[in-house]
Homo-oligomer: A and B are copies of this chain.
Amino acid sequence: MSLPDAPLRYELMKVDAVTGARLGRVTTRHGAFDTPAFMPVGTQGTIKGVLPDHVAATGSQIILGNTYHLMLRPGEKVVAALGGLHRFMSWPGPILTDSGGFQVFSLADINRITDEGVTFKSHVDGSVVHLTPQRSISVQNDLGADIIMSFDECPRADAPREYQRAAVARTLRWARLCLEAHHRPQEQALFGIVQGGTDLALRDECARTLIDLDFPGYAVGGLAVGEGFEATRAVLASVTPTLPVQKPRYLMGVGFPRDIVMAVAAGIDMFDCVLPTRNGRNAYAFTASGAIRLRNSRFTSDSGPIEDGCDCYACRTFTRGTIRHYFFAAEMLGPILVSLHNIRFFQRLMGDIRRAIGEGTFDRWRRSDPRAAMGPSSAEVAAASAVEPSDAPRAPMETREEPS
């Protein structure tokens, strides 16, 4: 399929009869991906510990890179000189970069926020960095991802209503500046981001203004930051019906299988989360019967795979006992193998979601498949029960990127 002028084409194949779930396909200049899609996070130009051929083997069709991290190190000009982010990280398929907004607001040592942008200290060398909508787009133009994101303000979930209003105003002002600053609109699709916290009226106002600006796709930001599952669901139920049917919709930074299934039912097409890789590095493995922590002593001589029936490289190749040993011996293969399994777990979940939508059985599927209920509590309960006093301290289940 040719893309003469557009950087992206979205095909809606099917809408579920019971829920708002959508089966679709997004085509970019670096290939296509099926939706609903899960994007593994390649913060610093790599899915941590997983070589690109193994990432592809998990069924991942699109991956995410972090503008904040890449602009600080090695710098977007270095990435551009090395041929752009696709060549840099040796991922020939579709890539999405975020705007840096989320990391700046959640991770950086912020000096100042104005209507022009944000001033913060680099976590790499302590230097003072100024990030504006124009700079975010310029960096993303240099990185060259297929989908790029508007620079938005991401307030805390508990920010007062007046702050949320001001943040939305700023996000909308910045969205216009991002559109103006975008120098590669034929090659890179710039998505707008709906903010507004849990205030449905504010969300609606933000969404409608962005829709008038005619972005090729829309994201819902500022969720999964502590507002709770029901609040997230209420926001999505309110926002997604407003968004254009013929454009892809992306829920940023989400999440647990339960959250993804709920958001798919609300009509979301794209997801990203560090859960599979971050928790994989902490020896937490996702399985259909719950999360397990492979450091647990009950796995010492366990000759089974991480998850029965899983077709990933880790499960086909190594026993739980060996992987447990790798974690205790601080061997890289521990984090590598569990990250790889967890990404495959998420991609199998997405494949099953797409299949169910295609077959018209999504609503039944989500009520019967145990994975559709896996959230932080069930995962943590499983993980906690798997940890004994003699084991190393348990790291919490985390969903956000780290600063370095």
A375 CA to B332 CA, complexed, in Å = 29
Is A74 an interface residue when CB atoms closer than 8 A count as contact? yes
Contacting pair B45 A303 (CB below 8 A)? no
The complex is assembled from copies of this chain, and their number is: 2
Contacting pair A78 B335 (CB below 8 A)? no
Residue-wise interface mask of A (67-111) relative to B, using a CB-CB cutoff of 8 A (1 in contact, 0 not): 001000110001001110001111000000000000000000000
Residue-wise interface mask of A (37-49) relative to B, using a CB-CB cutoff of 8 A (1 in contact, 0 not): 0000000111011
Is A404 an interface residue when CB atoms closer than 8 A count as contact? yes
Contacting pair B321 A404 (CB below 8 A)? no
Number of interface residues of A (CB under 8 A): 41
A328 CA to B46 CA, complexed, in Å = 13
Given known contacts A74-B300, A317-B52, A89 and B322 CB-to-CB distance under 8 angstroms: yes
List chain B residues, Cβ under 8 A from A242: none
Given known contacts A329-B73, A335-B332, A81 and B321 CB-to-CB distance under 8 angstroms: yes
User: From residue 273 to 330 of chain A, which have CB atoms closer than 8 A to chain B?
Assistant: 300-301, 303, 313, 317-319, 321-322, 324-326, 328-330
Beyond contacts A74-B324, A81-B303, A90-B317: 19 other A-B pairs, Cβ-Cβ < 8 A, are A44-B325, A44-B326, A44-B329, A44-B331, A45-B329, A46-B332, A46-B333, A48-B331, A48-B332, A49-B336, A51-B333, A53-B317, A73-B329, A74-B321, A78-B300, A78-B321, A83-B303, A88-B322, A90-B318
Residues of A within 8 A of B (CB): 44-46, 48-49, 51-54, 69, 73-74, 78, 81-83, 87-90, 300-301, 303, 313, 317-319, 321-322, 324-326, 328-333, 335-336, 404
